[in-house]
Structure 1
Amino acid sequence: MKKRIFLVIGLISIMLFLSGCTQVKQPITAESTGFWNEYIVYPLSWFIVKVAETFGGSFGLSIILVTIIVRLAILPLMIKQTKSSKAMQALQPEMAALKEKYSSKDQKTQQKLQQETMQLFQKHGVNPLAGCFPLVIQMPVLIGFYHAISRTREIAEHSFLWFDLGSPDPFYILPLVAGATTFIQQKMMMAGTANQNPQMAMMLWMMPIMIIVFAINFPAALSLYWVVGNLFMIVQTYFIKGPDLKATATGNAGGAKK
């Protein structure tokens, strides 16, 4: 069931991305047509421009502030997703026991496994799809924000700190910070599980490397967005998963002493 859920999320995410990726090099304006442009990308682009005008035309500061505002707006969804994931994780021992009990691959046994698994969810008031819907809702917003930054012409015409927003960071500082913060954020999210899952452990290293490679070639505005978003996620994860992170750190320290 879990694999099917992630498959559905992956397919939806790919569809959402592809719905706009063909226009990623086309500037976004009030005349842009299509649901994706009119109701997601352009409103976010308009918001970035208006915030920049409020702060003296600083698009770098606008990207920082709008990123934080967008992250705050979807924070309740992130909290709900985290709580659902923790509830599912707490049921893993009982689910593993059911799989062992009904290990036979014949159809009747597998049907019985599904029935008892659903009864287990109902008993503990857990909805296996509850953690998926918040993610599905977030994806269009975050991908739309990415498009808004890359397709707003005014952004590419301005600079911020030491870099031009429309060109890659000449000193590679933003790409390296983006990669490092991606690693830290993922490490916190995977606390206590990466060591048990080789695929997750591999992603822990692959994602930061990919982000660095992309950020080296992409406009610095996008790198800035990634850095701010990652920093927000690090703080958010610390407060949401604080007790779990401390327990994991204590466990790792105890294992090291042994």
Structure 2
Amino acid sequence: MKKRLWIILSLVSVVLLLSGCTEFDQPISSESEGFWNEFIVWPLVSVIKYFAELLGTYAFGIIVVTIIIRLCILPLTIKQIKSSKKMQEVQPQMKELQAKYSSKDAVTQQKYQQEMMALMSSSGVNPLAGCLPVLVQMPILIGFYHAISRMNNTSAFDLGTFLVFPLAEPSIVLAVLAGLIQFVVLRTGPAVDNPQMKIMMYIMPFMIIGFGIVLPAALSLYWVVGNIISVIQNLAIYKPWNKNKTEATTTGGAKK
């Protein structure tokens, strides 16, 4: 069931991405037709424009809208992070069950599934809890990405600059900054304790830097602001300083 659900989620994500990619390099306006344009991209463009006119620059407009979007999906994000945290906490017990029921015959696997479900139930872990937040966030985040990109291809919008960086042109500085903050996001999140996810700490930052070097700096600004918010969320939820104290105490006790 879990595998089937992830396949469905993957297909939905691809559909959402492709729905925007078909007009990725096209101008955007209130006359743009289609569900993706009318209900996701253009509303986001309108809100960015409103705050840009209110605050004086598109840079501030992008920053404010990024913060608003992150605040709106914050409850879902927290739920997803907490679900991942709980799942990580029961990993040792899950590995013990996998070793105990390593045989692939039907009877053994049935017992394995029963004990696994009992473990998750007693631990308050819901393996599907993180799926809905991802599904809800996907069109919003992809839509915001496309809104900025298509504004850059529309002559009616002059994105201007952020500090000294033209938002319509790639910025190596903002791209590297976005990548570095992404590393901090992963370093303060669940990936640092998960060997399978640890590789992401080294791949994701370089991917963001690579995209940022060739895409408009407005997108790098979006990543910078969004990643800063993610770091704050991780610090509030995971409290890595408590973990460091625990490790130091454990190490000190072991030496004695």
| Count of aligned pairs between the two proteins | 250
Distance 1:47 1:185 in 2: 27
Deviations 1:78-112 (A, max 9, x none): 11112222222233233223222221111232122
Deviations 1:42-71 (A, max 9, x none): 111111011111123x10110011101111
* Structure 1 unaligned blocks of 5 or more: none
1:248 corresponds to 2:247: no
Shift of 1:256: 7.7
> Normalized against structure 2, the TM-score is what?
0.87
**Residues 78-93 of structure 1: pairs in structure 2 closer than 5 A:** 78-93=77-92
| Aligned counterpart, 1:17 | 17
Distance 2:205 2:107 in 1: 44
**Residues 113-128 of structure 1: pairs in structure 2 closer than 5 A:** 113-128=112-127
Distance 2:249 2:58 in 1: 47
**Residues 226-245 of structure 1: pairs in structure 2 closer than 5 A:** 226-242=223-239, 245=240
**Cα root mean square deviation, aligned:** 2.3
Distance 1:114 1:62 in 2: 50
Shift of 1:27: 1.6
Distance 1:163 1:223 in 2: 11
Q: Percent identity between the aligned chains?
A: 51
Shift of 1:166: 1.0
Shift of 1:7: 5.1
| Aligned counterpart, 1:42 | 42
Distance 2:202 2:7 in 1: 22
1:224 corresponds to 2:221: yes
> Normalized against structure 1, the TM-score is what?
0.87
Partner letter of residue 83 of structure 2?
S
Partner letter of residue 101 of structure 2?
Y
| Aligned counterpart, 1:97 | 96
| Aligned counterpart, 2:198 | 201
Shift of 1:254: 6.0
1:139 corresponds to 2:134: no
Distance 2:232 2:238 in 1: 10
Name the SS for the 1:28 alignment partner: coil
* Structure 2 unaligned blocks of 5 or more: none
Distance 1:135 1:54, change over 3 A: same
Partner letter of residue 168 of structure 1?
P
Contact 2:185 2:227 in 1 (8 A): yes
Contact 1:179 1:208 in 2 (8 A): yes
1:107 corresponds to 2:106: yes
Shift of 1:8: 4.8
